[in-house]
A and B are shown apart, each in its own frame.
Chain A
Amino acid sequence: MATEADGQSAGGLVFHPMDQFIVKPLFGDGAVGMFTFTNVALWLLLAVAAVAALMVLGTAKRATVPTRSQSVAELAYGFVYKMVEDVTGKDGLKYFPYIFTIFLFILFSNFLALIPTSFSPTSHIAITAVLGFGVFIAITALGFIKNGVSFLGLFWVTSAPLAIRPVLAIIEIISYFVRPVSHSIRLAGNLTAGHAVLKVFAGFGQIAAVSPFAVLGVVAIFGLEVLVAAIQAYVFTILTCVYLKDALHPHH
């Protein structure tokens, strides 16, 4: 309480760590409606533009000796291609474009959010839930289309004794329906927590006695956040691959 009052009197720079996640219209101060152009929309568009720029510039020349942008594009492509092939097998490669799109979109949203004063769209559950439930619905539909009713064998663990299979089936069904929730909240929660911690440490910077440590702390946590941004994109993608594998080969 005392430090908060000191901060207000010293610099007047007191801000709330969660203020950075407020969705605001970019032009004017009106209410946020269905078609209002907000800061979320801006940073989502920038993420899409950055992905498009990387892939268009990277594949424009198709040189034998790759330029810098081509190397990065090839590196990202090869990385996700190998991941899909390793986890789902050859027949999962048909769905590689979807998974690659998800990976690049999340990666670029996370990285663009690290620019100071920018906005992190993936810290909003509304946005990650669209991605997570999109994956869930697509994969459930795909499982039934590919396997028909035998897709339900995913919940009937034939390797377990018959007596405990109904109990396991209930647990499997619950865990199946929690998947999209945990899939989306994992990404949003990590990003929210990381950015809030950055702002909390920035807030410590206004207390003169600890400000040098606060600045060092911000630098260290920023480094951690760069790592988290990449790892969360990777985790989201690899879990999509794991769920896809379940849909393609539902038998344990």
Chain B
Amino acid sequence: MEGDIGNLGQYIGAGLAAMGSGLAALGVGNVAGNFLAGALRNPSAAASQTATLFIGIAFAEALGIFSFLVALLLMFAV
């Protein structure tokens, strides 16, 4: 196990940043699950709200992608 303490920090940091992806998954699941719950109560209104669903998913997912980006930057750019 030879290596630089800086590399160690990079790898630990990238691993910690990967937690953000899991948290974003919680957010996306929350959006989709609540949409489904609402859609099953009132199916006639569901079709008109799919655009809102995708916008909500996109915003929730963007922050998870940011954490993925941080991991990539730590691994390959720092």
Contact = CB atoms under 8 A, between A and B. Distances in A.
B72 A238 contact: no
Interface in A220-252: 231, 234-235, 238-239, 242
A189 B67 CA distance: 10
A244 B62 CA distance: 19
Interface in B45-61: 51, 54-55, 57-59, 61
A182 interface: yes
A186 B54 contact: no
B55 A192 contact: no
Q: How large is the interface on A (under 10, 10 to 19, 20 to 34, 35 or more residues)?
A: 10 to 19
B35 interface: no
Interface of B is mostly: helix
Interface of A is mostly: helix
A86 interface: yes
Given A185-B62, A185-B69, A189-B69, A18 B54 contact: no
Contacts of A83: 51
Contacts of A193: 65, 68
A235 B69 CA distance: 19
A156 to B, nearest CB: 22
Given A86-B51, A238-B55, A186 B72 contact: no
Contact of B54 (A185, A190, A231): A231
Interface of B: 51, 54-55, 57-59, 61-62, 65-66, 68-69, 72, 76
Given A87-B51, A182-B66, A189-B69, 5 more contacts: A18-B76, A86-B51, A192-B72, A193-B68, A238-B58
